[in-house]
Structure 1
Amino acid sequence: MDEPQKSPELRTVNALERAEAVQRFLSEAARRARFSARARGAYQKSSFAERRGARAMRIAFLILAIVIVAIPNVAGALYYGVLASDQYVAEAKFTVSSAAIPKLDGLGSVTGLPQMMIFQDTMIIADYIQSRAMVEQLERQVDLRERYGAERIDWWARFDKSKSIEKFTDYWKKMTAATIGFPSGIVTLTIRAFSPADAKAIGDRVIADCEALVNELNERMRQDTVRASEQDLARAAKRLEVARVNLERARNAEGLIDVRQTSKSQSELISSIEHDLLKYQQEYLTQSRYVDESAPQMRVMKRRIEALEKQIVERKAEITKREAQGIDALARKTLSGKMTTFANLDLEHKIAESSYEIATASLDGARLLSERKLLYLHQIEAPALPEEARYPRRWLYFGVLFAISLALYGIIVGLIAFVRNHMA
């Protein structure tokens, strides 16, 4: 018998089923090809196992949120809201300036303080405020360690009194600030303490110690200035004494009181001899016209002329001749050399006298200056008793803590998700 003929509707249904089966097979093959063996194994597990892995991740994220976000912020809120001790700030302003002193002759470098020197002194004061020397000074004066280590202060902010002075100096630097404003040079000092009275007391004591340091700098400058001027005067006096002794020795050795006067006398003597010589020569020439040269009076006149000429030559040689031993030996034996030697000694004597006068004026100016202050600490604003606490800045610090913890949590969660997706 012939097979029954299938209807067109039945053939259409079978074709659709086969197409759907092929589609499911291809989809499954593509999924298996895309997933790794480990991921495919996880995919083939039961739905209960899949839900358990997701639950573990959610639990891990919750624990991270508690550890990184909740606990730090709760602790921060508890500390800044309840436990943190109030910190009060005492502020002071001052400046270091030089005295307006008129300059004295020969003492400009002493009386005129350049601006750079004032700036250096201001830096010295600012550094001294946060130095170990200041801490040790305040410990003796106001019991600084006890004020910052009292039991009433919260554990996080107070200083452990058993720690070393170096640690205390570092703590002091955190509680103080000394800033210099430009170009005014005003120093702004801020002192933090845990009570208004402590802040003001410490601030007053710091200003007083800074004034003491300025006075010490003044005293050192006064002593250095006077000492330097006295040393200059002593050197000038010694130089003047040596110049005087050398000049007196030279005069005594040559038997001269005044070289210039002696030279003038010699020149006048030569001029007188030359005048006599000219007179006798004219007379001899006149007489020779009427009297024979062999006459006695003519021979006497001729010998007199020759004697005068010889005397002039000797006098001139006494002034101008130079010996073979050299210029130095000649300067000691001839009158020209004597004039050179005496001129040098006289010049040295005058220079020594001038130096002595300048040194004397400098010493007088230094002593006058030592009676005045070269540096002043002008207190513009004294430390006042604070009325409200400025630290800690509770909302600001808590907000920063919350932002940091939230950002850290986001970074860690993002890294975990990235690694998980990469390994899937």
Structure 2
Amino acid sequence: MTRTDANDPIAGAAPKDRSVSLFDRARAHPFILLVIVPTLVAALYLFTIASAQYRSEAQFVVRGLEPQPAPASGVGQLLGLSASLSPGQQEAQSIREYLRSHDAVRALRGEGVDLVAIYRRPGTDPLSRLWSPAPRAETLLDFYRDHVDVIYDPDDNITRLSVRAFDPADAQRIARALLALGEKRVNAYNARLFDASLRVASGESQRAQDELESIQRQLGGFRERERDLDPAATGAGGARQIEEQQARLDRAAATLADMRGKLSPNSPQVRAMAAQVAAASAALEAARARQTGQPEAVAGRLGEYEELRLQQEFAAKRYEAARARLEQARTRAANEQLFIVAVVEPNLPEKPALPKPLRTTLLILIGLSVAYGIGWMLIAGVREHRS
């Protein structure tokens, strides 16, 4: 009996009929296979397996001491007449690009923030975590950009920073480190701006000062060599002395001429006055010789002295102008200094931002249903066309 049942074709066909019926049921209900089953699988993952991700958010602005230019009006924007970007806006955009770059990832490692360890935290589901324990730089950067958003709003000049991690403290830690990196970046920008603004003005001022000091040394050496503090004053004094000697000589000569008309030439008074005239004439010639007629005369020293004084005056004016430009450059550089103001500090999240299992499941169901409906209509259209 048992052997007969084993060889019975009807009894042996039952399992085959059951398998065929399951396949036929799947073919008969493709909506269940293509929509319901994937949705259930996604829901199972989202509700039971997917790891919670926490988001820490911060907002900051890059400002300077100088007032920001007013944004373009609505009409100006429609006409394409947008206002030029201020240094703060330009630097805010550059900071955004920096915080999303390889440099930021490398700098975070230098700040003690190990992104690989944070995003490979034990207990994280395999689909959400960073897979490789030693990822390539490009792989780590892509994963980092998926979890860190830096959005700059040019209308209100606010940069919004959002960081997701599998632990609330890790998300807040990364956000704080990124804010610190942005501040360091701004400080480096300020240092470069200060150096660039003052380098030329400082060099020009130093050259003017060196030139002035060199001329002053030459002037001091000239005075020491010639033993004359001010040849111009000496020359003026010599000129006054010549005038006095000339006046004395003229008076003595007039008196001598008058005496010769009244007295004998051999008169003692005439001889005495003639001696006075000769002495006055000799003193006048000596005074003139001291001014112009000798190698060490004042006229010979005065030319070199006046040239040095003229060079000194020009150098002093150049030095004063260079110092004024240096002060202006310092003031301008100080006014152009930028700094980061944290509008919103990084928060410690308490509620997971992702995943959102219910909403995500509904979106998957709706998306698959729409795709299934479109596919069903296309297939029905093809069949109708063939028939």
Matches within 5 A, 1:350-369: 350-351=316-317
Partner of residue 18, structure 2: none
Aligned length: 324
Q: 2:108 aligned with 1:146, yes or no?
A: no
Partner of residue 141, structure 2: 169
Q: 2:348 aligned with 1:384, yes or no?
A: yes
Distance change (3 Å), C-alpha of 1:407 and 1:258 = farther
Partners of 1:75 and 1:262 lie apart in 2 by 114
Q: Sequence identity of aligned pairs in percent?
A: 19
SS in 1 for 2:348: coil
Please tell me whether the aligned partners of residues 96 and 376 of structure 1 are also in contact (alpha carbons under 8 angstroms): yes
Matches within 5 A, 1:12-27: none
Partner of residue 263, structure 1: 235
Residue 256 of structure 1: how far off its partner (Å): 1.6
One-letter amino acid of the counterpart of residue 334, structure 1: G
Distance change (3 Å), C-alpha of 1:149 and 1:273 = same
Partners of 2:377 and 2:215 lie apart in 1 by 91
> Which deviates further from its counterpart, 390-399 or 88-97?
390-399
Residue 190 of structure 1: how far off its partner (Å): 0.5
One-letter amino acid of the counterpart of residue 341, structure 1: E
Partners of 1:123 and 1:81 lie apart in 2 by 40
Partners of 2:240 and 2:160 lie apart in 1 by 82
Distance change (3 Å), C-alpha of 1:207 and 1:237 = same
Q: Which of the residues 60, 81, 85 maps onto 1:94?
A: 60
SS in 2 for 1:384: coil
Please tell me whether the aligned partners of residues 270 and 312 of structure 1 are also in contact (alpha carbons under 8 angstroms): yes
Please tell me whether the aligned partners of residues 176 and 346 of structure 2 are also in contact (alpha carbons under 8 angstroms): yes
Q: 2:100 aligned with 1:130, yes or no?
A: yes
SS in 1 for 2:58: strand
Partners of 1:259 and 1:399 lie apart in 2 by 104
Distance change (3 Å), C-alpha of 1:203 and 1:312 = closer
Residue 170 of structure 1: how far off its partner (Å): 1.7
Distance change (3 Å), C-alpha of 1:349 and 1:222 = closer
Partners of 1:152 and 1:228 lie apart in 2 by 59
Please tell me whether the aligned partners of residues 56 and 349 of structure 2 are also in contact (alpha carbons under 8 angstroms): yes
Q: 2:275 aligned with 1:275, yes or no?
A: no
Distance change (3 Å), C-alpha of 1:316 and 1:201 = closer
Partners of 2:226 and 2:174 lie apart in 1 by 78
Partner of residue 245, structure 1: 217
SS in 2 for 1:178: strand
**C-alpha RMSD of the superposition:** 5.3
Partners of 1:344 and 1:417 lie apart in 2 by 106
Q: Which of the residues 160, 182, 199 maps onto 1:188?
A: 160
Where does the alignment leave 5 or more consecutive residues of structure 2 unmatched?
1-26, 67-84
Residue 131 of structure 1: how far off its partner (Å): 2.4
Deviations 1:330-372 (A, max 9, x none): xx9635513422322442574588589889999xx99xx9xxx
SS in 2 for 1:334: helix
Distance change (3 Å), C-alpha of 1:390 and 1:308 = same
Residue 191 of structure 1: how far off its partner (Å): 1.0
Residue 264 of structure 1: how far off its partner (Å): 1.9
The TM-score normalised by the length of structure 1 is: 0.56
Partner of residue 44, structure 2: 82
Q: Bigger radius of gyration, 1 or 2?
A: 1
SS in 1 for 2:239: helix
Partner of residue 286, structure 1: 258
Residue 260 of structure 1: how far off its partner (Å): 3.0
> Which deviates further from its counterpart, 234-243 or 276-285?
234-243
Distance change (3 Å), C-alpha of 1:87 and 1:235 = same
Residue 196 of structure 1: how far off its partner (Å): 3.9
Please tell me whether the aligned partners of residues 88 and 195 of structure 1 are also in contact (alpha carbons under 8 angstroms): yes
Residue 305 of structure 1: how far off its partner (Å): 7.6
Partners of 2:274 and 2:105 lie apart in 1 by 111
Partners of 2:199 and 2:233 lie apart in 1 by 43
Where does the alignment leave 5 or more consecutive residues of structure 1 unmatched?
1-62, 101-114, 320-331
One-letter amino acid of the counterpart of residue 164, structure 2: R
SS in 1 for 2:151: strand
Distance change (3 Å), C-alpha of 1:335 and 1:163 = closer
Deviations 1:305-334 (A, max 9, x none): 865775676567569xxxxxxxxxxxx963
> Which deviates further from its counterpart, 198-207 or 148-157?
148-157
Please tell me whether the aligned partners of residues 63 and 340 of structure 2 are also in contact (alpha carbons under 8 angstroms): yes
Residue 157 of structure 1: how far off its partner (Å): 3.7
Partner of residue 8, structure 1: none
Deviations 1:277-328 (A, max 9, x none): 3323433553464468899748767766865775676567569xxxxxxxxx
SS in 1 for 2:228: coil
Deviations 1:130-149 (A, max 9, x none): 22233245457343223324
One-letter amino acid of the counterpart of residue 219, structure 2: L
Q: Which of the residues 161, 175, 178 maps onto 1:203?
A: 175
Please tell me whether the aligned partners of residues 56 and 175 of structure 2 are also in contact (alpha carbons under 8 angstroms): yes
The TM-score normalised by the length of structure 2 is: 0.60
Partners of 1:412 and 1:310 lie apart in 2 by 132
Matches within 5 A, 1:339-354: 339-347=305-313, 350-351=316-317
